[in-house]
Amino acid sequence: MLRRDTRPAPIPMTLFFSEKDMFSNWYRSDFVVKGIRFNCVEQFMMYCKAKLFADEATAKKILEAGHPRDQKALGRLVGGYDDSVWAERRTRIVTHGCYAKFSQNPSLQEALLATAGTLLVEASPYDKIWGVGLGKDDPRIKDPALWRGQNLLGHALTEVRSRLALELSMSAVTQPTYL
């Protein structure tokens, strides 16, 4: 009798982590939301965090900070911070920032759409909220059941990718071919 391999097939993944990876929140790429220019999604997220908790002074400092490391540090100083409120809102905020980043930068949009069919994974060994709590070279990263983190950034990017693909397909349908 033949034995069948019942292990699931490996899931194709797009792994990213450093600020040099275009899918990272720290990757530098300007975009504008409500007339405000942001240099990366990290800046957008920390600015929105400060605004959510009505900390105008910190919001202003975040906009003035040029490096994501400084933006993140300022985000940790937001006054009136409530973790339960932030946990409820953070994914929508980051998804909105990622949509702005990728929809306003055609080369980034093309790269994101090219990941179709793969699971987007922030391979951060340090981040168990936005990432999976494992590095790119950790063999456990190949099995989502072994992840130590939530991969919220990967989920946000997947949502943005789906939305952009839908918008692209809808515009192809509505554009007359004779123009």
Tell me what pLDDT residue 58 has: 99
- Any domain includes 179: no
What does the H/E/C string look like for 74-93?
HHCCCCCCCHHHHHHHHHHH
Tell me what pLDDT residue 3 has: 56
Residues whose CB is less than 8 angstroms from the CB of residue 150 and which lie 6 or more positions away in sequence, other chains included: 128, 129, 130, 132
In sign, the C-alpha dihedral spanning 138, 143, 147, 151 is: positive
Task: Please state the domain count of the chain.
Answer: 1
- Any domain includes 175: no
Question: What does the mean pLDDT of the chain come to?
Answer: 94
Task: Report residue 1's pLDDT band, with 50, 70 and 90 as the boundaries.
Answer: low
- Any domain includes 2: no
Tell me what pLDDT residue 52 has: 99
φ/ψ region of 34 (left if φ > 0, alpha if ψ in -120 to 50, else beta) reads: left
Pairwise CA distance, residues 28 & 18, whole Å: 11
- Any domain includes 173: no
- Any domain includes 3: no
- Any domain includes 33: yes
- Any domain includes 177: no
163-172: average pLDDT: 91
Pairwise CA distance, residues 175 & 132, whole Å: 40
Domain range spanning residue 46? 13-168
Tell me what pLDDT residue 12 has: 96
CATH of the domain at 61: 1.10.357.40
- Any domain includes 121: yes
